Structure 1
Amino acid sequence: MSHFKNATSEFKKRLADQPVIRRAVVTPLLAQDDGPIYTGSNANPNNNGLQVFKSSKKRKAEVYSQPQETGAGNHINSLLLNAINFLKTSDEPQSVEDLKRKGNIDLETKPRLYELLKSNEKVAYDEVNNTFVYKPTYQIKSKEDLLAMLEKRKNEGGMDYKELKDSYSKLPQAVQELASEGRILVVKNKDGQPRVLFWNDQRYNTAMDPEFREIWHRLRIPDEIDLPKELEKAGLTHMQVFDKKGPGEVPKRKQVRRNRKMKITNTHMKGLDLTKDFVIQK
């Protein structure tokens, strides 16, 4: 029993002589150095029992950069597209110097780009003046040209706004002015952008009675779900869509099954009458 007490007291004495190391919370530093290094030996009471050693190794700061905005890539197709887009915004012919000064497109140092631009189907090249101009789908240079084209195509319906966008660089301004003057009619998308343009024939701009206008605007179109019911109440039927066969479609013919003649291969039995020659006699 005395031996056990001695062992216990000796163990407690050794445990009390052990140094106490406190846990430290290290916060990563964003500075260029690696931060302090902590150790449990030679503890400093001002640092929670830990000694701090400064590291002489410097940490390089990480730098993240974005690609520089250069306008166009270095590939020949990217340069060609950039040159054509620049010509779209210019209604007048552009020389080699104009392309370099205004569009940052150097054709003198890029002969391959020069030849591709000359032979492009959307670019008209003037060999006499050495100028380039964009070749639009429709020749429109002013809002009067736009009005004349819409009047010329009045019997063909309206013109798609997207098809006219590359024909005139000031098309949005021209459409807005002509619409405000009542010379054209514009059908817009849900976002308010022009969709279809029509020439407005002034002969059909009949003055309407204010009372009739009030009655007209007072009427409300039913919702799409309730529209068939409202039409039925008024004795009307809604439009039905029928599938139409295209001009190149040929109706399929039903295949008729035909009985094929079987070729007899048992030629050695030819001339035998099974009903007579092989009848069991009673």
Structure 2
Amino acid sequence: MSSYLEKQQAAFKTNVTSASSKITAKRTSLVPPAEAPSPAPSNTSNTSKTEKETKRKREVQQNVVYSQPAVTGYGTEAFTQVTYVIDFLKKKDEPKTFQEILMYLSQVHVEETKKKLIATILKRHDRVKWTADPQLKTQNWDSGTFRHQPLINVRTKKDLIAYLQIKPDAQGVAVKDLKDGWPDCEDAIDDLEAENRILVTRTKKDNHARMVWSNDPSLVHKVDPEFQMMWHKTELPTVDELVRKLMDAGQKPASEDPSKRVKAAPKPKEKKKKAPRKGGKFTNSHMAHLLIDYDKQRR
């Protein structure tokens, strides 16, 4: 019995030994020899790879879109925000609190330092009028209201007449400057012109008002229509006939008779004669033998 078990044990050991030798042989065959050198990459392959990479980078850069302001950072600076605020106040034409301005700019949740910078610029800007809060004894950096300050603070007919009357000079007022604070002022200008309260110059192409001046309606007098008809029916003498009648009456006309004007013949231009060249002092005496004048020795 024992001999049978011993034979089975010996056979099992033999099988295990043979199987382990086969597995190690397969693993060693899969490993490459250590002495075999690895193939080095060629220069042509490296250059082709770099060219492909540069082409890919160029394609990526060309496909980038720069139309979004948030990507480029446009509008983030304080002075740019102030420009938007002035346009906003100009369109609304009413006082706005600083909180309403921040809501318009979408800057409610930004840092307080940026808010203070915008408020400081607005208070010092010549196109913005800041009004303090009457309910506060001590004003805060964000208190009060802001309103657009136009070039000419005129918004009604009465304001326009008063502004023209207190002007220290006789220069006209440009309508484009009036529109800065009064965009729809043309209808009021037409009404005031019909009432003879202002004088207006207009463009030839569109007949739009361009400049306005103050006018006194008491100086305007209407002419009788019958007299106007008589005036237009009267035949006025010509300029030559007026001159002749004035001369016959012994009066000197304000202008000469254009038909009797004799134009003087143009004088020929005299050619200027060149003055003879005066001899000066010889400073280069070492070249005197080269500067001898031989014209007198000619026959």
TM range (shorter): 0.3 to 0.5
Task: Tell me which structure has the larger Cα radius of gyration.
Answer: 2
Which has a greater percent of helix?
Answer: 2
Q: TM-score, normalised by structure 2?
A: 0.44
